[in-house]
């Protein structure tokens, strides 16, 4: 997934002198020897990115005396005397510490994520901190999504099987309609109102029956020529009256509080529409960072850009080969929101993806995404069923 940069190098040697028998009394032009003559510094990812330390000669200059032929070895690292990108090292060059760096922005985003800012023209790669991603808050929001899979009564009482003891909600109201569900409550610890949109109870059936029908939306709000998935929008509209009534009721009890949105799978797409309705229509204050999990593509590229301009803190958490983020397909005109946070199979390693929405180094890199286990298990916890954490 990423190029790791290492400094565990053998002591650097500027040159190595080898003695050989006389061959002929003729000086030769510098010549490039086999790569075997130099040793790559520890660098994982691409042989073209090899930074060399001396072993026996990559660029050798041969001089001859009357008694011996002296060969001086200088391992050729491209930062020193040739432009980055020459001699087949198109994506990488080496700095004075024999670290490999990317030559250009495209290589940075697609091949070498640990390059230093400014090295070979690279831009600094995003980090959790730079995009506002908080591991603890992500886990808290995931716990709220897990609880959405439980029956309404236990959720209202906050004693359901999946209701986390680490999160305490009050004054909870559940809205159900047409097979869809959401709940709204007050989080006293964070002093905010939360609105949680449930994913489909039968996600595999939902995906099997998923159509690609788009409908124009939000032109009255300035989203000209924006199209969204009709089914996702209809799902939100089925819950919108109950969800908004619950939010306004909580604002009577807890005035001037912000509203945090979250959702998993289909629920994540509904949360995207809720954000538009609550902020741009109802003029209510939302939390700046929104965490969704396993979100499908919600609309076309115009909608993704427009939505991102209003909600730059939207963070789409994805897991390994979860198939839902691959749907609906790009080929029929759908596009993702900008910022993806992609976890590996074990939910241990994470890539903060680029701001393009369709980062080829993240979930898009999985050619055949059929991991229903990945879709139903995020951050090491179940999220598709009402199961204890």
Angle at 75 between CA 72 and CA 76, to 5 degrees: 120
Residues 198 and 386: beta-carbon distance below 8 Å: no
Residue 39 to residues 59, 84, 94, 253, 277, Cα–Cα distance (Å): 13, 19, 14, 68, 60
Peptide bond into 328 cis (omega under 30): yes
CA-CA-CA-CA dihedral for 237, 242, 244, 248, to nearest 10: 170
Nearby residues of 251 by Cβ (< 8 Å), 6 or more positions away: 193, 257, 284
* Catalytic residue annotation: 265, 322, 375
Residue 195 CA to its chain's centroid (Å): 24
Angle at 115 between CA 111 and CA 116, to 5 degrees: 160
The gap between the terminal CA atoms of the chain, to the nearest Å, is: 30
């Amino acid at each position: 997934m990423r190029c790791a940069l290492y400094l565990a190098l053998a002591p650097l040697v500027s040159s190595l002198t080898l003695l050989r028998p006389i061959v002929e009394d003729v000086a030769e032009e510098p010549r490039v020897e086999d790569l075997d003559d130099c040793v790559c510094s520890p660098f994982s990812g691409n042989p073209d990115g090899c930074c060399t330390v001396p072993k026996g000669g990559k660029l050798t200059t041969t001089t001859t005396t009357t008694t011996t032929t002296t060969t001086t070895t200088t391992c050729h690292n491209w930062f020193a005397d040739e432009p980055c990108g020459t001699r087949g090292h198109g994506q990488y060059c080496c700095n004075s510490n024999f670290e490999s760096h990317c030559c250009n922005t495209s290589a940075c985003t697609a091949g070498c994520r640990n390059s230093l800012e400014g090295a070979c023209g690279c831009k600094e790669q995003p980090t959790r901190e730079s995009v506002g991603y908080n591991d603890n808050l992500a886990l808290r929001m995931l716990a709220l999504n897990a609880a959405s899979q439980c029956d309404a009564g236990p959720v209202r009482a906050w004693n359901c099987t999946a209701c986390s003891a680490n999160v305490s909600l009050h004054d909870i109201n559940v809205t159900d309609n047409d097979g869809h569900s959401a709940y709204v409550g007050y989080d006293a610890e964070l002093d905010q109102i939360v609105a949680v949109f449930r994913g489909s109870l039968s996600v595999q059936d939902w995906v099997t029956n998923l159509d690609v029908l788009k409908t124009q939306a939000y032109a009255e709000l300035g989203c000209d020529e924006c199209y969204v998935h009709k089914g996702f929008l209809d799902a939100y509209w089925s819950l919108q009256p109950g969800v908004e009534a619950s939010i306004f009721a909580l604002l009577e009890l807890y005035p001037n509080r912000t509203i945090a949105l979250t959702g998993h799978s289909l629920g994540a797409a509904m949360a995207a529409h809720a954000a538009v309705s609550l902020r741009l229509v109802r003029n209510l204050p939302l939390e700046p960072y929104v965490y969704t999990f396993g979100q499908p593509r919600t609309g076309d590229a115009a909608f993704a850009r427009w939505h991102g301009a209003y909600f730059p803190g939207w963070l789409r958490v994805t897991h390994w080969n979860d198939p839902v983020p691959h749907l609906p397909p790009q080929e029929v005109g759908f596009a993702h929101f900008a910022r993806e946070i992609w976890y590996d199979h074990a939910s241990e390693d994470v890539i903060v993806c680029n701001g393009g929405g369709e980062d080829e180094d993240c979930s898009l890199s999985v050619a055949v995404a059929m991991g229903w286990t990945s879709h139903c298990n995020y951050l090491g916890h179940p999220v598709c069923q009402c199961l204890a954490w």
